[in-house]
Structure 1
C-alpha cells in the first residue's frame, strides 16, 4: 500500500469515528435542553428525571468526542503537513475561533450545568444546557467553514505557493458553508431524537421494566424531534445535491453512476454497478424522468456524464485521473437517502401508534424492535454522507487548487503509517467499547439510581469540613 493510500485511510478512520460523536452530542444536548425547559415550564418532576438521566449520555458522548477530536488534529499534522502549510492561513482563523470561542463556551457552560443543580434557579440552570447546545452548533459551523473552503475555495490568493486569505467575510458567506451546516445540524437533531427514542425502546423491551412511563415519554419526545429533524435533513440534502450539479458535477455524476451524458429527460438509477477500471456501467435499473425532477425540479433536463466531465477537467487542470470511487459513492448516497426516509417513516408511525387513544407500539415487541434498531441508522447515514463529501472531490484536497498527492507529508513512511493506523484502530476500538459499556451501564442503573443512592447514604453529601459533620 502506498503512503497516500495509508494516509487517506487514517484520515477516513479518524474522521468517521470522531463524527460518530459530534452529531450525537449536538442532538442529545438539544434533547436534554428541551426536557429541562419542559420541567421549568410544567414543574413535572418526570421531566427533571429525564433531564438528569439522558444528560449522563450527553456527558459520555462529549468526553469521547473531545478525545477523538484531539487524535484527528494530531494525524493532520503528522500525515498532511504540506496540506497544512498550503491552507494554514485560511484555516487558522475559523479553527481558532472554534477553539477559543465555541468550544470554550461549550465546555464552560457544560461544567456550570453539571455543578449548579441546587445553586441557581431552574430557569437559569436550563439556560446553561441551551448554551451548551447552541455552542456545539456554533463549533460545528466553524469546522464546516474550513471544510467548505476545501469544497469551494473563496476569498483567497495564491502567494508563495500557498493560499492566503483575502476576505474573511467571503469564507463565512460561502454558499457551501450553509449547505453543509444546515445538512449536518439537521442530521444531528435527527440523531438526537432517534437516539433517545431507540434507547428508550431497548429499555421497554426488557422484562419487568421499571419507569415504563418515563421511557414512553422519552420515546415520544424523541419521535417529535426526529420528525422535525428528518424533514429538515431531506430539505437540506436536496438543496445540497442540486448545488453539486453545477459546483462539483463529477461528484454528482458519480453518486448517480453516470458515465455517459444522459438523454433529456434523465432517468434516475435505482440500482447499478460500474466497472471503474474501464469507466463504464455494467448494468442499471432506472426510473424515467426522475433524475431530471430531482436535479432541476422539472421533468426535463440532461445530466453530464463522468467521461465528458473528465475531459473538461483535463483541459482545465491538466492530465490526471478525476474519476472518484463510483460504486462507493453510488451506494453511499442511496443508503443515506434510504435511512433518511426510514427515520421519517418510523417517526410518523411512532407518533401515530403512541397516541393516547391507542398506544399500540408499547404493546407490540416487533414494533419496539424496529424503533430500537433504528437507533443505529443515523450513524450509518451520517457516515455515508461524509464519504460522499470527502471521496467525491477526488483527487483534490482543496477543489481545483491542491491534490492529495501534493498534500501528504514528505517525511512519513509506510512503516510509520502502518504502526500509527494500528495504534489508532486499537485506541478507537477501546474508546468505542468503553462508550458502549458506559451507556449500557447507565441504562441498567435507570433514572432512579442517583435518587436511591442519596436515600441509602445521606451522609455521602455532607461537607467533611462542616463542623456539624463531626457530631
Structure 2
C-alpha cells in the first residue's frame, strides 16, 4: 500500500468508528428528554427512574463520541493537509460553526443537566436536556453541511492566483440541496438507532423480570419511535436517491451495477458483474424499479457506468472515474436490508405488546438484543456507500482524492498511526461495552419515594 491507501484506510476506520456513537447520542438525547418531560408532566416516579437509567447510558456514549470526534478532525491536518489548504476556507466554515455554536451549546447545557438535579427549578432543568438535545441536532446539521459540500460543492470560487477554493456564499453552503435531503435521512437514522438500543435493553430487562412495568413503557416508546423513524428513513432516502442521481450519476449507476444508459431501468436484486468488460453476467431485477426510485417515473432514464465514464472523460480529462462497483452495489443493498429488518422488528414488538401484554419469550429477547446492531450496520454501510461511491473525488468535480493527501506523509508514519489508532479504538470499544453492560445490569435506581435523583451519575468502575 502507498500513503494514499493507508490514509484512506485510517480515515475510513476512524470515521466508521466515530459514527457508531453519533446517531445513538442524537437519538438517545431526545428520548431521555421525552422521558423527563413525561415525569415533569405526570409526576410518576417510573418516568424519573427511566430518565436516570437511560441518562447514564446516554452520557457514556456522549463522552466516547467526543473523544473519537476530536481525532476525526485532526486528521484533516495530519493526512490530508493538501485538501485542508485547498478548501479550508470553505470546508472549515461549517465545522467552525459546529464547534462555536452547536458543541458549545450541547456541552454547556448537558453539564447543567448533569449537575443541576436538586439545584435548578424543575422546568429550568428540563429545558437544559432539551437544549442539549437540540445542540446535538444542530451539530449534525453543520457537519453534514460540510460533508455535503464535498458531495456537491456550491457557494465558492477558485482563486486563480492562490489556486485555492474560497467561500463566497455561506448561505448557499448551509442550504445546499444535498444537505437538505441528507439531514433528515441521518436524523431519522439516529432515532432508529436509539430506538433499537432502547428496545433491546428494555426487552432484556423485562425478560429478567426486573422493573418490568417501567421497562414496558420504554420498550413501547422505543418501538413506536423506531417504526416511525424507519418510515422517515425510507421516504428521505428515496428523495436523497433522486438528488444523488442528478448530482452524482456515477454513484447511482455503481449502486445498481447499471452499465449502460437505460429507460425503464430495473432495480437490481442480485448481480454478478464483469467490471473489466463493463457488463453483468447475471442480474436479477425488479422491472422498472430503478427508474421509479431515481426519477419517480416507470420509464425514466437512468445513466449507466460506461456512458457516465465517457462523459466524465470529456469533462474532466482522462482517468478512471468508476468507484469500486462491488462495494457500492452491496453496501447499498445491505444498508436497505438491515434498515428494513429493524423496522420489521419494531413492528413485531408492538404487535406482541398489544393490549397490555409483555413482549414474547426468550426467543424474542434474543432477537431484540441482536436487533440493536441492525441500525448501526445500516448507518455504517450507508456512509461507506456515500463516501466510497464518490471516489475518485474528495470534492466532487473539483479535487481528486489522490491530490488531497499530505505531501509530507510517508508510509511508515501513516502505517504507525493507523495501527496505533486501531489499537486505541479497540481499547475504547472494550471500555464502552464494559460500562454499558455494567450499568444495564445494575438497572434503574431503587424506587425511593422521592422525586429527585443524585446530582450526577457515577460512571466509575
TM-score range relative to shorter protein: over 0.9
- Aligned mates of 1:16, 1:114 — CA distance in 2: 28
Is residue 197 of structure 2 the alignment partner of residue 198 of structure 1? no
Q: Alpha-carbon deviation of 1:59?
A: 0.4
Query: 1:224 — aligned with what?
Result: 224
- Aligned mates of 1:449, 1:409 — CA distance in 2: 55
Is residue 397 of structure 2 the alignment partner of residue 400 of structure 1? yes
Is residue 376 of structure 2 the alignment partner of residue 379 of structure 1? yes
Please list every run of 5 or more consecutive structure 1 residues that lacks an aligned counterpart in the other structure. Answer: 453-457, 459-471
- Aligned mates of 1:449, 1:22 — CA distance in 2: 30
Taking the TM superposition and a 5 Å limit, the aligned residue runs for 1:138-177 are 138-159=138-159, 160-177=162-179
Q: Alpha-carbon deviation of 1:348?
A: 2.1
Query: 1:433 — aligned with what?
Result: 430
Find the residue that maps to 1:250 and give its secondary structure. Answer: helix
1:278-309 Cα deviation digits (max 9, x unpaired)? 43323211111222222222221232210000
1:139-189 Cα deviation digits (max 9, x unpaired)? 111111111110001011111111000111111121011111111111111
Contact 1:30 1:192 in 2 (8 A): no
- Aligned mates of 1:280, 1:162 — CA distance in 2: 39
Find the residue that maps to 1:362 and give its secondary structure. Answer: coil
Find the residue that maps to 1:259 and give its secondary structure. Answer: coil
Q: Alpha-carbon deviation of 1:449?
A: 5.8
Query: 1:281 — aligned with what?
Result: 280
TM-score by length of 1: 0.92
- Aligned mates of 2:85, 2:346 — CA distance in 1: 46
Find the residue that maps to 1:356 and give its secondary structure. Answer: helix
Query: 1:68 — aligned with what?
Result: 68
Query: 1:328 — aligned with what?
Result: 327
Contact 2:349 2:359 in 1 (8 A): no
Runs of 4+ deviating beyond 4 Å:
449-452
TM-score by length of 2: 0.94
Q: Alpha-carbon deviation of 1:451?
A: 6.0
Contact 1:397 1:407 in 2 (8 A): yes
Task: Please identify the structure whose Cα radius of gyration is greater.
Answer: 1
Contact 2:255 2:332 in 1 (8 A): yes
Query: 1:83 — aligned with what?
Result: 83
- Aligned mates of 1:172, 1:197 — CA distance in 2: 34
Contact 1:324 1:391 in 2 (8 A): yes
Query: 2:236 — aligned with what?
Result: 236
Query: 1:31 — aligned with what?
Result: 31
Contact 1:276 1:325 in 2 (8 A): no
RMSD: 1.6
Structure 1 residues 378 and 363, CA, compared in 2 at 3 Å: closer, same or farther? Answer: closer
Query: 2:182 — aligned with what?
Result: 180
- Aligned mates of 2:432, 2:267 — CA distance in 1: 40
Find the residue that maps to 1:319 and give its secondary structure. Answer: coil
Query: 1:306 — aligned with what?
Result: 305
Find the residue that maps to 1:273 and give its secondary structure. Answer: strand
Query: 1:58 — aligned with what?
Result: 58
Q: Alpha-carbon deviation of 1:261?
A: 2.4
Structure 1 residues 74 and 451, CA, compared in 2 at 3 Å: closer, same or farther? Answer: farther
Number of residues of Structure 1 aligned to a counterpart in Structure 2 = 448
Find the residue that maps to 1:91 and give its secondary structure. Answer: helix
- Aligned mates of 1:75, 1:117 — CA distance in 2: 38
- Aligned mates of 2:141, 2:266 — CA distance in 1: 35
Structure 1 residues 204 and 306, CA, compared in 2 at 3 Å: closer, same or farther? Answer: same
Query: 1:272 — aligned with what?
Result: 271
Q: Which has the higher contact order (CA 8 A, sep 6+)?
A: 2
- Aligned mates of 1:289, 1:446 — CA distance in 2: 51
Q: Alpha-carbon deviation of 1:200?
A: 1.4
